[in-house]
Structure 1
Protein backbone atom coordinates (compact mmCIF):
# COMPACT_ATOMS: atom_id res chain seq x y z
CA UNK A 1 0.00 0.00 0.00
CA UNK A 2 2.79 2.47 0.85
CA UNK A 3 4.28 2.06 -2.62
CA UNK A 4 1.06 2.92 -4.47
CA UNK A 5 -1.07 5.94 -5.27
CA UNK A 6 -4.33 6.37 -7.22
CA UNK A 7 -2.45 6.09 -10.54
CA UNK A 8 -0.17 3.16 -9.68
CA UNK A 9 3.34 3.48 -8.26
CA UNK A 10 3.70 6.43 -5.89
CA UNK A 11 6.21 8.93 -7.23
CA UNK A 12 6.93 10.31 -3.77
CA UNK A 13 7.57 6.89 -2.24
CA UNK A 14 9.75 5.89 -5.19
CA UNK A 15 11.91 9.03 -5.05
CA UNK A 16 12.46 8.67 -1.32
CA UNK A 17 13.26 4.97 -1.52
CA UNK A 18 15.64 5.29 -4.48
CA UNK A 19 17.25 8.39 -3.01
CA UNK A 20 18.10 6.33 0.05
CA UNK A 21 19.32 3.46 -2.17
CA UNK A 22 21.58 5.92 -4.00
CA UNK A 23 23.14 7.10 -0.72
CA UNK A 24 23.49 3.52 0.59
CA UNK A 25 25.16 2.35 -2.63
CA UNK A 26 27.68 5.20 -2.36
CA UNK A 27 28.44 4.24 1.24
CA UNK A 28 28.84 0.60 0.24
CA UNK A 29 31.21 1.56 -2.59
CA UNK A 30 33.27 3.57 -0.07
CA UNK A 31 33.45 0.63 2.30
CA UNK A 32 31.27 2.36 4.91
CA UNK A 33 28.55 0.75 7.00
CA UNK A 34 26.57 4.01 7.18
CA UNK A 35 25.70 6.66 4.60
CA UNK A 36 27.31 9.47 6.61
CA UNK A 37 29.95 11.44 4.71
CA UNK A 38 32.55 14.07 5.65
CA UNK A 39 35.20 16.04 3.80
CA UNK A 40 38.95 16.10 4.54
CA UNK A 41 38.37 18.62 7.36
CA UNK A 42 35.67 16.53 9.03
CA UNK A 43 32.79 18.74 7.88
CA UNK A 44 29.54 17.01 6.85
CA UNK A 45 28.91 16.61 3.12
CA UNK A 46 25.82 15.30 1.39
CA UNK A 47 25.15 13.57 -1.91
CA UNK A 48 22.80 16.22 -3.31
CA UNK A 49 20.94 15.53 -6.54
CA UNK A 50 21.72 17.55 -9.66
CA UNK A 51 19.13 15.86 -11.90
CA UNK A 52 16.55 13.09 -11.80
CA UNK A 53 14.49 11.55 -14.57
CA UNK A 54 11.56 9.28 -13.76
CA UNK A 55 9.76 7.34 -16.47
CA UNK A 56 6.66 5.28 -15.62
CA UNK A 57 4.71 2.87 -17.80
CA UNK A 58 0.95 3.27 -17.91
CA UNK A 59 -0.38 1.51 -14.80
CA UNK A 60 -1.81 -1.94 -15.37
CA UNK A 61 -4.63 -3.68 -13.51
CA UNK A 62 -4.14 -5.41 -10.20
CA UNK A 63 -1.18 -3.44 -8.84
CA UNK A 64 -2.45 -3.71 -5.26
CA UNK A 65 -0.92 -6.84 -3.79
CA UNK A 66 1.56 -7.20 -6.65
CA UNK A 67 5.29 -7.81 -6.31
CA UNK A 68 7.54 -4.80 -6.98
CA UNK A 69 11.07 -5.43 -8.17
CA UNK A 70 13.79 -2.77 -8.02
CA UNK A 71 17.20 -3.31 -9.65
CA UNK A 72 19.74 -0.58 -8.88
CA UNK A 73 23.28 0.18 -10.07
CA UNK A 74 25.78 2.99 -9.41
CA UNK A 75 28.19 4.64 -11.85
CA UNK A 76 30.75 7.44 -12.11
CA UNK A 77 30.07 10.56 -14.18
CA UNK A 78 33.34 12.43 -14.51
CA UNK A 79 35.40 13.48 -11.52
CA UNK A 80 32.72 14.88 -9.22
CA UNK A 81 29.36 13.29 -9.99
CA UNK A 82 27.79 9.91 -9.31
CA UNK A 83 24.79 8.47 -11.11
CA UNK A 84 22.41 5.62 -10.38
CA UNK A 85 19.84 3.76 -12.46
CA UNK A 86 16.84 2.01 -10.92
CA UNK A 87 14.79 -0.35 -13.10
CA UNK A 88 11.29 -1.14 -11.88
CA UNK A 89 9.09 -4.17 -12.51
CA UNK A 90 5.67 -5.16 -11.18
CA UNK A 91 5.02 -8.90 -11.16
CA UNK A 92 7.92 -9.28 -13.56
CA UNK A 93 6.55 -6.72 -16.04
CA UNK A 94 8.70 -3.61 -16.73
CA UNK A 95 7.11 -0.66 -14.93
CA UNK A 96 9.59 2.21 -15.27
CA UNK A 97 13.05 3.60 -14.79
CA UNK A 98 14.55 6.25 -12.53
CA UNK A 99 17.89 7.90 -13.31
CA UNK A 100 19.61 10.04 -10.69
CA UNK A 101 22.76 12.18 -10.75
CA UNK A 102 24.33 13.61 -7.59
CA UNK A 103 27.35 15.59 -6.46
CA UNK A 104 28.70 16.12 -2.96
CA UNK A 105 27.90 19.45 -1.31
CA UNK A 106 28.14 21.09 2.08
CA UNK A 107 26.95 24.21 3.83
CA UNK A 108 29.11 27.29 3.35
CA UNK A 109 30.75 29.25 6.18
CA UNK A 110 27.66 31.41 6.69
CA UNK A 111 25.35 28.40 6.99
CA UNK A 112 21.87 28.38 5.51
CA UNK A 113 20.67 26.71 2.36
CA UNK A 114 21.32 29.61 -0.01
CA UNK A 115 25.08 29.12 0.28
CA UNK A 116 25.45 25.42 -0.54
CA UNK A 117 28.89 24.65 -1.99
CA UNK A 118 30.34 21.68 -3.83
CA UNK A 119 32.69 19.85 -1.51
CA UNK A 120 34.37 16.47 -2.20
CA UNK A 121 34.10 13.70 0.38
CA UNK A 122 37.11 12.41 2.30
CA UNK A 123 36.79 8.92 0.86
CA UNK A 124 37.04 8.37 -2.86
CA UNK A 125 34.86 5.84 -4.59
CA UNK A 126 35.87 3.65 -7.54
CA UNK A 127 32.93 2.98 -9.86
CA UNK A 128 32.40 1.90 -13.45
CA UNK A 129 32.04 4.72 -15.95
CA UNK A 130 28.44 5.65 -16.75
CA UNK A 131 26.97 4.57 -20.07
CA UNK A 132 24.59 6.45 -22.38
CA UNK A 133 21.60 6.19 -20.04
CA UNK A 134 23.22 8.54 -17.54
CA UNK A 135 25.60 10.50 -19.78
CA UNK A 136 22.66 11.45 -22.02
CA UNK A 137 20.72 12.71 -18.99
CA UNK A 138 23.72 14.77 -17.89
CA UNK A 139 24.15 16.28 -21.36
CA UNK A 140 20.43 17.02 -21.69
CA UNK A 141 20.43 18.72 -18.27
CA UNK A 142 23.36 20.94 -19.20
CA UNK A 143 21.72 21.91 -22.51
CA UNK A 144 18.42 22.67 -20.75
CA UNK A 145 20.08 24.96 -18.20
CA UNK A 146 21.91 26.86 -20.96
CA UNK A 147 18.61 27.44 -22.78
CA UNK A 148 16.66 28.72 -19.75
CA UNK A 149 15.47 32.31 -19.67
CA UNK A 150 17.62 34.12 -17.08
CA UNK A 151 14.87 36.21 -15.50
CA UNK A 152 11.74 35.15 -13.64
CA UNK A 153 8.55 35.65 -15.72
CA UNK A 154 6.46 38.68 -14.82
CA UNK A 155 2.93 37.18 -14.73
CA UNK A 156 1.51 35.87 -11.47
CA UNK A 157 2.81 32.38 -10.61
CA UNK A 158 0.76 29.25 -11.13
CA UNK A 159 1.46 28.41 -7.50
CA UNK A 160 3.12 30.23 -4.61
CA UNK A 161 3.75 28.22 -1.47
CA UNK A 162 5.92 28.17 1.64
CA UNK A 163 7.23 24.62 2.23
CA UNK A 164 6.58 23.10 5.64
CA UNK A 165 9.82 22.40 7.58
CA UNK A 166 8.38 19.28 9.24
CA UNK A 167 7.17 17.77 5.95
CA UNK A 168 9.34 19.08 3.12
CA UNK A 169 12.86 19.33 4.56
CA UNK A 170 15.25 16.48 5.27
CA UNK A 171 17.39 15.63 8.29
CA UNK A 172 20.25 17.95 7.25
CA UNK A 173 17.91 20.92 6.85
CA UNK A 174 17.68 21.01 3.04
CA UNK A 175 14.46 21.13 1.05
CA UNK A 176 14.25 17.42 0.21
CA UNK A 177 14.43 16.64 -3.47
CA UNK A 178 11.02 14.84 -3.71
CA UNK A 179 9.41 18.11 -2.59
CA UNK A 180 10.35 19.72 -5.93
CA UNK A 181 8.32 17.10 -7.81
CA UNK A 182 5.44 17.42 -5.35
CA UNK A 183 5.28 21.18 -5.89
CA UNK A 184 5.24 20.74 -9.68
CA UNK A 185 2.37 18.27 -9.33
CA UNK A 186 0.42 20.68 -7.14
CA UNK A 187 0.85 23.44 -9.73
CA UNK A 188 -0.71 21.65 -12.68
CA UNK A 189 -4.16 22.98 -13.59
CA UNK A 190 -5.46 19.91 -15.46
CA UNK A 191 -5.26 16.18 -14.88
CA UNK A 192 -4.67 14.55 -18.28
CA UNK A 193 -3.69 11.15 -16.89
CA UNK A 194 -1.08 9.28 -14.85
CA UNK A 195 2.48 10.55 -14.81
CA UNK A 196 4.58 9.29 -17.72
CA UNK A 197 7.82 11.18 -17.15
CA UNK A 198 9.21 13.83 -14.83
CA UNK A 199 12.62 15.43 -15.37
CA UNK A 200 13.95 17.68 -12.59
CA UNK A 201 17.14 19.73 -12.65
CA UNK A 202 18.07 20.99 -9.18
CA UNK A 203 19.81 24.37 -9.18
CA UNK A 204 19.53 25.61 -5.60
CA UNK A 205 17.72 25.32 -2.30
CA UNK A 206 15.72 27.40 0.16
CA UNK A 207 15.76 28.07 3.88
CA UNK A 208 12.80 27.20 6.09
CA UNK A 209 10.33 30.06 5.85
CA UNK A 210 11.22 30.92 2.23
CA UNK A 211 8.38 30.90 -0.27
CA UNK A 212 8.61 29.27 -3.71
CA UNK A 213 6.86 30.56 -6.84
CA UNK A 214 6.21 28.24 -9.78
CA UNK A 215 6.08 29.78 -13.27
CA UNK A 216 5.91 28.24 -16.75
CA UNK A 217 9.35 28.00 -18.39
CA UNK A 218 9.22 30.08 -21.62
CA UNK A 219 10.43 28.15 -24.65
CA UNK A 220 10.69 24.82 -22.81
CA UNK A 221 7.42 23.33 -24.02
CA UNK A 222 4.22 22.26 -22.31
CA UNK A 223 4.56 21.00 -18.77
CA UNK A 224 7.82 22.85 -18.03
CA UNK A 225 7.93 24.83 -14.79
CA UNK A 226 10.55 26.93 -13.05
CA UNK A 227 10.73 27.08 -9.25
CA UNK A 228 11.92 30.46 -7.95
CA UNK A 229 13.07 31.83 -4.59
CA UNK A 230 11.95 35.27 -3.36
CA UNK A 231 15.38 36.69 -4.24
CA UNK A 232 14.82 35.92 -7.93
CA UNK A 233 16.99 32.80 -8.05
CA UNK A 234 15.66 29.76 -9.92
CA UNK A 235 16.15 26.69 -7.71
CA UNK A 236 14.88 24.06 -10.17
CA UNK A 237 13.31 23.44 -13.52
CA UNK A 238 10.78 20.62 -13.92
CA UNK A 239 9.35 19.04 -17.07
CA UNK A 240 6.34 16.74 -16.69
CA UNK A 241 4.53 14.54 -19.18
CA UNK A 242 1.44 12.42 -18.66
CA UNK A 243 -0.20 9.35 -20.14
CA UNK A 244 -3.39 10.18 -22.03
Structure 2
Protein backbone atom coordinates (compact mmCIF):
# COMPACT_ATOMS: atom_id res chain seq x y z
CA UNK A 1 0.00 0.00 0.00
CA UNK A 2 1.49 3.32 -1.06
CA UNK A 3 0.69 5.60 1.87
CA UNK A 4 2.90 7.38 4.37
CA UNK A 5 1.66 8.01 7.90
CA UNK A 6 3.30 10.59 10.18
CA UNK A 7 5.11 9.38 13.28
CA UNK A 8 3.15 8.99 16.52
CA UNK A 9 2.64 12.31 18.26
CA UNK A 10 3.16 14.36 15.12
CA UNK A 11 -0.29 15.82 15.73
CA UNK A 12 -2.28 18.39 13.88
CA UNK A 13 0.75 20.20 12.46
CA UNK A 14 1.03 17.47 9.84
CA UNK A 15 -2.65 17.44 8.93
CA UNK A 16 -3.00 17.56 5.16
CA UNK A 17 -5.72 18.60 2.75
CA UNK A 18 -4.95 15.95 0.16
CA UNK A 19 -4.87 12.49 1.74
CA UNK A 20 -4.67 9.61 -0.71
CA UNK A 21 -3.44 6.07 -1.13
CA UNK A 22 -2.91 3.63 -3.97
CA UNK A 23 -2.99 -0.12 -3.54
CA UNK A 24 -2.73 -3.11 -5.86
CA UNK A 25 -4.23 -6.40 -4.75
CA UNK A 26 -3.88 -9.77 -6.44
CA UNK A 27 -7.32 -11.28 -6.06
CA UNK A 28 -7.83 -14.60 -4.34
CA UNK A 29 -10.65 -16.44 -2.63
CA UNK A 30 -11.14 -13.87 0.21
CA UNK A 31 -11.80 -11.16 -2.39
CA UNK A 32 -14.17 -13.09 -4.65
CA UNK A 33 -17.68 -14.48 -4.60
CA UNK A 34 -19.82 -16.39 -7.06
CA UNK A 35 -19.77 -14.32 -10.22
CA UNK A 36 -16.82 -11.99 -9.53
CA UNK A 37 -15.59 -9.51 -6.95
CA UNK A 38 -17.12 -9.84 -3.49
CA UNK A 39 -18.99 -6.62 -2.78
CA UNK A 40 -19.02 -7.35 0.94
CA UNK A 41 -15.22 -7.68 0.99
CA UNK A 42 -14.89 -4.53 -1.11
CA UNK A 43 -17.03 -2.38 1.18
CA UNK A 44 -15.17 -3.61 4.25
CA UNK A 45 -11.85 -2.81 2.57
CA UNK A 46 -12.97 0.64 1.46
CA UNK A 47 -14.43 1.40 4.88
CA UNK A 48 -11.05 0.53 6.40
CA UNK A 49 -9.28 2.75 3.88
CA UNK A 50 -11.68 5.60 4.66
CA UNK A 51 -10.78 5.25 8.36
CA UNK A 52 -7.05 5.20 7.59
CA UNK A 53 -7.39 8.25 5.34
CA UNK A 54 -9.12 10.15 8.13
CA UNK A 55 -6.04 9.55 10.26
CA UNK A 56 -3.79 10.76 7.46
CA UNK A 57 -5.96 13.83 6.96
CA UNK A 58 -5.64 14.62 10.67
CA UNK A 59 -1.88 14.01 10.69
CA UNK A 60 -2.13 10.97 12.93
CA UNK A 61 -0.36 7.63 12.77
CA UNK A 62 -3.47 5.62 13.68
CA UNK A 63 -7.19 6.44 13.42
CA UNK A 64 -7.95 6.75 17.12
CA UNK A 65 -10.24 9.67 17.85
CA UNK A 66 -11.80 10.91 21.10
CA UNK A 67 -13.96 13.85 22.11
CA UNK A 68 -13.14 16.48 24.73
CA UNK A 69 -14.27 14.10 27.49
CA UNK A 70 -12.06 11.29 26.11
CA UNK A 71 -15.04 9.27 24.87
CA UNK A 72 -14.34 7.12 21.79
CA UNK A 73 -15.50 8.70 18.54
CA UNK A 74 -16.26 6.66 15.42
CA UNK A 75 -16.87 7.35 11.74
CA UNK A 76 -20.47 6.48 10.87
CA UNK A 77 -21.36 6.16 7.20
CA UNK A 78 -24.29 8.20 5.91
CA UNK A 79 -24.24 6.87 2.36
CA UNK A 80 -22.34 4.68 -0.08
CA UNK A 81 -22.64 4.94 -3.85
CA UNK A 82 -21.30 2.34 -6.29
CA UNK A 83 -21.34 3.34 -9.95
CA UNK A 84 -20.30 1.90 -13.30
CA UNK A 85 -19.24 -1.36 -11.66
CA UNK A 86 -17.98 -4.35 -13.61
CA UNK A 87 -17.41 -6.72 -10.70
CA UNK A 88 -18.46 -9.71 -12.81
CA UNK A 89 -15.33 -9.50 -14.99
CA UNK A 90 -12.90 -9.97 -12.08
CA UNK A 91 -11.36 -13.39 -11.53
CA UNK A 92 -8.76 -15.14 -9.37
CA UNK A 93 -5.20 -13.80 -9.86
CA UNK A 94 -6.41 -10.54 -11.43
CA UNK A 95 -4.63 -7.45 -10.11
CA UNK A 96 -7.11 -4.91 -8.75
CA UNK A 97 -5.89 -1.33 -8.39
CA UNK A 98 -7.63 0.86 -5.80
CA UNK A 99 -6.89 4.57 -5.76
CA UNK A 100 -8.46 6.33 -2.76
CA UNK A 101 -8.78 10.00 -1.80
CA UNK A 102 -10.60 11.77 1.01
CA UNK A 103 -11.83 15.32 1.58
CA UNK A 104 -13.58 17.25 4.30
CA UNK A 105 -16.75 18.55 2.64
CA UNK A 106 -18.38 20.34 5.61
CA UNK A 107 -17.76 20.99 9.29
CA UNK A 108 -18.91 17.47 10.20
CA UNK A 109 -18.86 15.49 6.94
CA UNK A 110 -16.10 13.66 5.07
CA UNK A 111 -16.18 11.91 1.70
CA UNK A 112 -13.80 9.39 0.19
CA UNK A 113 -13.60 8.42 -3.48
CA UNK A 114 -12.26 5.05 -4.61
CA UNK A 115 -11.40 4.34 -8.24
CA UNK A 116 -11.15 0.64 -9.13
CA UNK A 117 -9.19 -0.56 -12.17
CA UNK A 118 -8.23 -3.93 -13.60
CA UNK A 119 -6.58 -4.93 -16.88
CA UNK A 120 -6.28 -1.30 -17.91
CA UNK A 121 -9.96 -0.40 -17.53
CA UNK A 122 -12.23 1.04 -14.88
CA UNK A 123 -14.28 -1.57 -13.01
CA UNK A 124 -16.11 0.78 -10.67
CA UNK A 125 -16.19 3.94 -8.63
CA UNK A 126 -17.27 4.07 -4.99
CA UNK A 127 -17.95 7.09 -2.78
CA UNK A 128 -18.36 6.86 1.00
CA UNK A 129 -19.74 9.71 3.09
CA UNK A 130 -19.27 9.77 6.87
CA UNK A 131 -19.71 11.82 10.02
CA UNK A 132 -18.19 11.34 13.45
CA UNK A 133 -20.47 9.99 16.19
CA UNK A 134 -20.23 9.00 19.83
CA UNK A 135 -22.52 7.03 22.11
CA UNK A 136 -24.48 9.11 24.60
CA UNK A 137 -24.97 5.98 26.72
CA UNK A 138 -22.07 3.49 26.81
CA UNK A 139 -22.96 0.29 24.97
CA UNK A 140 -26.19 1.70 23.46
CA UNK A 141 -26.10 2.02 19.67
CA UNK A 142 -29.40 3.88 19.59
CA UNK A 143 -27.87 6.67 21.69
CA UNK A 144 -25.34 7.82 19.08
CA UNK A 145 -25.10 11.52 18.29
CA UNK A 146 -23.06 13.46 15.76
CA UNK A 147 -19.94 15.21 17.00
CA UNK A 148 -17.46 17.60 15.34
CA UNK A 149 -13.71 17.22 15.83
CA UNK A 150 -11.32 20.13 15.38
CA UNK A 151 -8.44 17.99 14.14
CA UNK A 152 -8.72 18.44 10.40
CA UNK A 153 -8.01 21.08 7.78
CA UNK A 154 -11.02 23.36 7.15
CA UNK A 155 -13.63 22.19 4.68
CA UNK A 156 -12.86 23.44 1.19
CA UNK A 157 -14.22 23.12 -2.31
CA UNK A 158 -13.50 19.54 -3.39
CA UNK A 159 -14.54 18.91 -7.00
CA UNK A 160 -15.90 15.41 -7.52
CA UNK A 161 -16.65 14.84 -3.84
CA UNK A 162 -19.98 15.09 -2.03
CA UNK A 163 -22.51 13.35 -4.28
CA UNK A 164 -23.15 10.62 -1.70
CA UNK A 165 -23.63 13.16 1.10
CA UNK A 166 -26.06 15.17 -1.03
CA UNK A 167 -27.99 12.00 -1.84
CA UNK A 168 -28.21 11.09 1.84
CA UNK A 169 -29.51 14.55 2.73
CA UNK A 170 -32.15 14.41 0.00
CA UNK A 171 -33.46 10.94 0.83
CA UNK A 172 -33.28 11.40 4.59
CA UNK A 173 -35.43 14.53 4.30
CA UNK A 174 -38.37 12.41 3.19
CA UNK A 175 -39.17 14.92 0.47
CA UNK A 176 -37.64 13.10 -2.49
CA UNK A 177 -39.92 12.21 -5.40
CA UNK A 178 -37.91 9.81 -7.56
CA UNK A 179 -34.58 8.02 -7.39
CA UNK A 180 -33.01 5.22 -9.41
CA UNK A 181 -36.15 5.18 -11.55
CA UNK A 182 -38.39 4.46 -8.54
CA UNK A 183 -41.17 6.87 -7.58
CA UNK A 184 -41.41 7.36 -3.84
CA UNK A 185 -45.21 7.64 -3.84
CA UNK A 186 -45.50 4.30 -5.66
CA UNK A 187 -43.34 2.44 -3.15
CA UNK A 188 -45.11 -0.26 -1.19
CA UNK A 189 -44.06 -3.41 0.61
CA UNK A 190 -44.29 -6.21 -1.93
CA UNK A 191 -42.35 -8.85 -0.02
CA UNK A 192 -40.24 -8.93 3.12
CA UNK A 193 -37.96 -11.16 5.13
CA UNK A 194 -36.79 -10.97 8.73
CA UNK A 195 -33.07 -11.35 9.48
CA UNK A 196 -31.45 -11.83 12.87
CA UNK A 197 -27.97 -10.25 12.54
CA UNK A 198 -25.18 -12.44 13.88
CA UNK A 199 -22.90 -10.69 16.42
CA UNK A 200 -19.75 -12.45 15.18
CA UNK A 201 -20.46 -11.84 11.48
CA UNK A 202 -22.52 -8.66 11.09
CA UNK A 203 -21.22 -6.37 13.85
CA UNK A 204 -17.84 -4.64 13.81
CA UNK A 205 -15.18 -4.22 16.47
CA UNK A 206 -16.91 -1.10 17.81
CA UNK A 207 -20.08 -3.19 18.39
CA UNK A 208 -22.11 -1.41 15.70
CA UNK A 209 -24.02 -3.25 12.97
CA UNK A 210 -21.38 -2.90 10.25
CA UNK A 211 -22.25 -0.74 7.25
CA UNK A 212 -21.27 -3.57 4.86
CA UNK A 213 -23.82 -5.89 6.49
CA UNK A 214 -26.72 -3.84 5.10
CA UNK A 215 -25.71 -4.64 1.54
CA UNK A 216 -25.36 -8.32 2.40
CA UNK A 217 -28.86 -8.33 3.94
CA UNK A 218 -30.26 -6.98 0.67
CA UNK A 219 -28.41 -9.65 -1.30
CA UNK A 220 -29.86 -12.35 0.97
CA UNK A 221 -33.32 -10.90 0.42
CA UNK A 222 -32.72 -10.76 -3.34
CA UNK A 223 -31.85 -14.46 -3.30
CA UNK A 224 -35.03 -15.19 -1.34
CA UNK A 225 -37.26 -13.03 -3.54
CA UNK A 226 -35.88 -13.74 -7.02
CA UNK A 227 -33.64 -16.83 -6.77
CA UNK A 228 -30.97 -15.34 -9.05
CA UNK A 229 -28.03 -17.73 -9.02
CA UNK A 230 -25.44 -15.38 -10.55
CA UNK A 231 -25.72 -11.60 -10.72
CA UNK A 232 -23.25 -8.76 -10.33
CA UNK A 233 -23.79 -5.18 -9.21
CA UNK A 234 -23.70 -2.41 -11.79
CA UNK A 235 -24.86 0.44 -9.56
CA UNK A 236 -25.94 0.63 -5.95
CA UNK A 237 -26.88 3.45 -3.56
CA UNK A 238 -27.08 2.81 0.19
CA UNK A 239 -28.51 5.51 2.44
CA UNK A 240 -28.23 4.82 6.17
CA UNK A 241 -30.75 6.03 8.75
CA UNK A 242 -29.87 4.20 11.95
CA UNK A 243 -28.35 1.22 13.75
CA UNK A 244 -29.46 -1.59 16.06
CA UNK A 245 -28.48 -3.30 19.27
CA UNK A 246 -27.11 -6.83 19.38
CA UNK A 247 -30.19 -9.06 19.47
CA UNK A 248 -32.39 -6.74 17.39
CA UNK A 249 -33.84 -8.31 14.28
CA UNK A 250 -34.17 -6.40 11.02
CA UNK A 251 -36.71 -6.54 8.20
CA UNK A 252 -35.75 -6.21 4.52
CA UNK A 253 -38.76 -4.95 2.56
CA UNK A 254 -38.99 -4.99 -1.23
CA UNK A 255 -40.48 -1.59 -2.10
CA UNK A 256 -40.12 -1.70 -5.87
CA UNK A 257 -38.60 -3.75 -8.70
CA UNK A 258 -38.18 -3.81 -12.45
CA UNK A 259 -36.65 -6.42 -14.73
CA UNK A 260 -35.45 -6.83 -18.28
CA UNK A 261 -33.93 -9.80 -20.08
CA UNK A 262 -30.50 -9.33 -18.51
CA UNK A 263 -30.95 -6.81 -15.70
CA UNK A 264 -32.81 -6.36 -12.45
CA UNK A 265 -33.27 -3.23 -10.36
CA UNK A 266 -34.87 -3.01 -6.95
CA UNK A 267 -35.47 -0.68 -4.04
CA UNK A 268 -35.27 -2.27 -0.61
CA UNK A 269 -35.95 -0.66 2.74
CA UNK A 270 -34.40 -2.05 5.92
CA UNK A 271 -36.23 -1.43 9.19
CA UNK A 272 -35.87 -2.47 12.80
CA UNK A 273 -38.27 -5.34 13.50
CA UNK A 274 -39.27 -4.30 17.01
CA UNK A 275 -40.57 -0.84 16.13
CA UNK A 276 -40.32 -0.34 12.36
CA UNK A 277 -37.68 2.37 12.70
CA UNK A 278 -35.94 2.98 9.34
CA UNK A 279 -32.36 1.75 9.10
CA UNK A 280 -31.51 2.08 5.39
CA UNK A 281 -32.81 2.53 1.86
CA UNK A 282 -30.89 0.53 -0.73
CA UNK A 283 -31.26 0.99 -4.50
CA UNK A 284 -29.59 -1.63 -6.70
CA UNK A 285 -29.16 -2.48 -10.37
CA UNK A 286 -27.55 -5.79 -11.30
CA UNK A 287 -26.54 -7.66 -14.41
CA UNK A 288 -28.04 -11.14 -14.57
CA UNK A 289 -25.68 -13.77 -15.95
CA UNK A 290 -27.11 -16.09 -18.62
CA UNK A 291 -28.14 -19.49 -17.28
TM-score normalised over the length of structure 1? 0.89
1:179 paired to 2:213? yes
Match of 1:159 in 2: 193
The offset of 1:111, in angstroms, is 4.0
Residue 22 to residue 141, structure 1, CA distance change in 2 (3 Å): same
**1:45-194 counterparts in 2 under 5 A?**
45-55=73-83, 56-57=85-86, 59-60=88-89, 63-109=91-137, 111-121=139-149, 123-126=151-154, 128-131=156-159, 133-145=160-172, 146-147=174-175, 158-188=192-222, 189-190=225-226, 191=228, 193-194=231-232
Q: Aligned partners of 1:24, 1:211: CA distance in 2, in Å? A: 31
Structure 1 match to 2:262:
none
Q: Which runs of 5+ in 1 are unaligned?
A: none
Please provide the CA RMSD for this pair: 2.5
Structure 2: tracts of 5 or more residues without a match = 1-27, 177-183, 260-264
1:174-215 per-position Cα deviation (integer Å, ceiling 9, x unaligned):
000000000011111222731111111111000000000111
Which structure: larger Rg?
A: 2
For 1:76-98, what per-residue CA distance to the aligned partner results, in whole angstroms no more than 9, with x for missing partners? 22111000000001122211011
SS at match of 1:178: helix
Q: Does 2:62 match 1:30?
A: no
Which string of whole-angstrom CA distances, capped at 9 and with x for unpartnered residues, describes residues 34-71 of structure 1? 111111221110011000011312633x7221111000
Query: CA 1:115 to 1:157, structure 2 compared with 1: closer, same or farther past 3 Å?
Result: farther
Distance 1:228 1:201 in 2: 12
Do the aligned partners of residues 125 and 170 (structure 1) sit closer, same or farther apart at CA in structure 2, a change above 3 Å counting?
Answer: farther
1:114, 1:206 within 8 Å by CA — same for their partners in 2?
Answer: yes
The count of aligned residue pairs is 240
DSSP 3-state at the match of 2:77: strand
In structure 2, relative to structure 1, the CA distance for the partners of 1:210 and 1:64 (3 Å cut) is: same
Q: Write the distance in 1 (CA, Å) between the matches of 2:235 and 2:49.
A: 20
Shift of 1:124: 2.9
Q: Deviations over 1:6-36 (max 9, x none)?
A: 2221101110111010000110111111111
Aligned equivalent of 2:11: none
